Chains A and B, each alone.
Chain A
Amino acid sequence: MQSNSKAIRLTRRQFVAAGAMGGAALAAGCNATNHGGWDFLNDAQAQTLAAISDQIIPADEFPSASQAGVLTYIDRQLARHYRRHRDTYRDGLAQAHAMSNERYGRDMAALSSTQQAELVSAIEHQNRKFFDLVRNHTLEGYYGAPRHGGNRDAVSWKMLGLAEPPVRGRAQYDLGKGPAS
């Protein structure tokens, strides 16, 4: 699959750039709060996670999970609302990395798409708790509001044919900002 070669050995900056096709200005905005790195993940973990997320939502005529900024979403939440899931992520990603090297002698990001899909299925069966977290968080990042770092340029809402921005009323608050509460 097209996206796999792109996902190999990407740093945080390159990730943002890769996803920015058609949305460079927005990508710069997303990156503004990061200081050149991830909030929680390290680069190796990010590559493994990107490989898993891109099997959960692969690219077709619309972007894959990582292309739409899902890793930014997950990373940001692991430093915020999902702090309680840090251990599950750390252990799960280490396990995925080990399984990939054990089975195929290579890192997950370097596998073919077919091998990655096999491996993700194996993870789903062996570590359901971790897989369900990644699966749900990937869907949240892809289909949720762009303000949280995923769904870059509202790409999934456009895919579904939804109005973006949504119908607005009298109160013209900034839709890009986080919650008031």
Chain B
Amino acid sequence: MKRVNAVIVGAGAAGGIVAKELATAGLSVVLLERGKWYTANDCRKDDLRNQRTTVLGNAFGPEDEGNPRVSVDATGVAQIVLPSEGSYSNDAACVGGGTLSYGAMAWRYLPQDFRMRSIYGAPAGSSLEDWPISYDDLEPYYEKAEYEIGVSGDYSGTPFHGPRKRPLPMPPLPPNREFEILEPAAKRLGLHPFHIPMARNSVPYNGRGPCMRCRWCVGFACEVDAKNGSQNTVIPTALATGNCELRTECMVREILTDDRGRARGVAYFDANGHLQEQPSDFVVVSACAIESARLLLNSKSRLFPNGVGNRYDQVGRNLQGHHYTGATGYFDFDTYDDVGPGASIAVADYNHGTPGLCGGGMLANEFIRLPIQMVDQMPVNTPRWGLAHKKAMRSVYKRNIALMGPTQEIPTADARVTLDPTVKDKWGMPVARISGNVHPHTFEIGAIQAKRCEAWLNEAGAISTSLKIYKPLIVTAGQHQAGTCRMGEDPRASVVNRNCQVHDVDNVFVIDGSVHVTNGGFNPALTIMAIAYFASESLVRNWKGTGFRS
């Protein structure tokens, strides 16, 4: 196979951006994606088979068959889990990755989110740490992501955001009914509500039309292509340069290394299951936190007996996602207006600054819930079945609001991805084994966040509420998975440097949520994108045609 400059593993939020940046800079790129390329026409509005409600499987991969993981809970019980099960911590496997079917909240982390250890100190037993880069380092790249991917919203209602040079490129969508109910209540509580930034066209942008405001959004592909992901922005741009080839249904087995300890390409199984080798000058791993770690760990050789980048046993550690808690409020008037995408209003007042708590997270109203998503959201003391449940569905469905938020997790080194010693996937490769949990202080913060949601709902006129407080037995990395190839200056305590370059192999890069030191109190997609732009720029700058300037 013809040698190229770069092989990129994974065509998701980060991989798509890296492909576009390298290809437009004139480098030759092969972009490998294990899933398929879906379009707006593949939206089926199937409420039982999508990326949000997966009782009949994931619409955009991976398939339940042949893609197991092993999940080990706090009591040491290990079990094989399927992609449609929660403890699998799935992210979609397709061109666009999670960005094809995400809710598309497009948050910047706050300046404090990059300095968690300096601000709070590390709780005993945690691996809380500062990032080696700051909000200011990322600011231009956040802006680039907002403009190239396309973000609508309005930050003017809140002082709780980092400095920004330009406003968002698109105004927010008009408020829905929940916004109108929740906004005055938040203000009465002294909070600062504002329009959620969304990677969703509110007006025509980038040659595509605006959101038509149907109620099938998070978990689904957008049938009018108004939701912005890498699959309908940067990847088409990368392909249009003529320098990038996208190969779908290709599963990478390992990063190949030479006798001098440098990467020489990848081995992958193509769509027909045949093993192929793609030689390259360097390799970019953008497979999402769990699969990126797994690929590095599976890339074993004489010089790398424990996998690439894993000399100090750091790959796979500090796995984290977000600890979601919240409350549902029940009202004696209709709160439901059948207008998507549903989530519309947020506050960032509780991300930092509460004495005794290491951070917090934003709070927002939930995306619109389809009937099947409501069956377990009934008021407290409603029977789980029978006529009373049916009647509650009828009386409550249009009269409730759910608020929740992603509590920033306090990471630990023990929450980690390793290779399972026995279970293999359909290609015969050892699967990811997920074990450990985030620091328990996370759950204390989450419980307080839920009560804050409840107070907001009560102020808005709820006649009753139910709290959603959890204490999971295993790290719930989910679609927000991050942290497994931590960015840092110290090779003994991190996997990549500030430019996302693996410490001990200078032509392997990990560019995705894996490098997040901490994961903010926000959905991570825009930060993953900003880092992809940031890392791509230094990659192009340092590339000298045959090697990297050191």
Interface residues of A (CB under 8 A from B): 55-58, 60, 62, 77, 81, 117, 120, 135-136, 138-140, 143-145, 147-148, 156-157, 159-163, 166-171, 173, 175, 177-181
Contact = CB atoms under 8 A, between A and B. Distances in A.
B387 to A, nearest CB: 5
Contacts of A179: 44, 46, 49, 56, 59
Q: Which of A62, A138, A139, A168 has the most CB of B within 10 A?
A: A139
B41 A171 contact: yes
B212 A57 contact: no
A58 B387 contact: yes
B390 A144 contact: no
A181 B60 contact: yes
Nearest to A55: B386
Contacts of A56: 385-386, 389
A148 B56 contact: yes
Contacts of A167: 212-215, 338
A173 B385 contact: no
14 contacts: A56-B386, A58-B390, A77-B56, A81-B57, A135-B385, A136-B55, A143-B372, A157-B371, A159-B394, A160-B393, A166-B216, A169-B214, A171-B43, A178-B44
B212 A169 contact: yes
Interface in B468-510: none
A38 B397 CA distance: 33
Contacts of A81: 56-57, 64
A28 B216 CA distance: 28
B47 A144 contact: yes
B394 A160 contact: yes
Given A160-B397, A167-B338, A181-B38, 7 more contacts: A145-B46, A145-B47, A171-B40, A171-B43, A171-B223, A179-B44, A181-B58
A180 B100 CA distance: 15
Given A58-B390, A160-B394, A181-B38, A170 B372 contact: no
* Prevailing SS type, chain A contact patch: loop
A55 B223 CA distance: 38
Nearest to A138: B385
A77 B64 CA distance: 14
Contacts of A162: 338, 371
Contact of B46 (A77, A147, A157): A147
B371 A175 contact: no
A140 B224 contact: no
Contact of B385 (A55, A60, A166): A55
B398 A145 contact: no
A54 to B, nearest CB: 10
Contacts of B144: none
Nearest to A147: B46
A58 B60 CA distance: 35
Contact of A140 (B44, B55, B390): B55
Contact of A144 (B58, B212, B214, B372): B372
A170 B38 contact: no
Given A139-B375, A169-B214, A57 B38 contact: no
A145 B372 CA distance: 9
Interface in B47-77: 47-49, 55-61, 64
Contact of B38 (A55, A148, A163, A180): A180
A145 B48 CA distance: 7
Contacts of A144: 47-48, 55, 371-372
A135 B44 contact: no
Contacts of B137: none
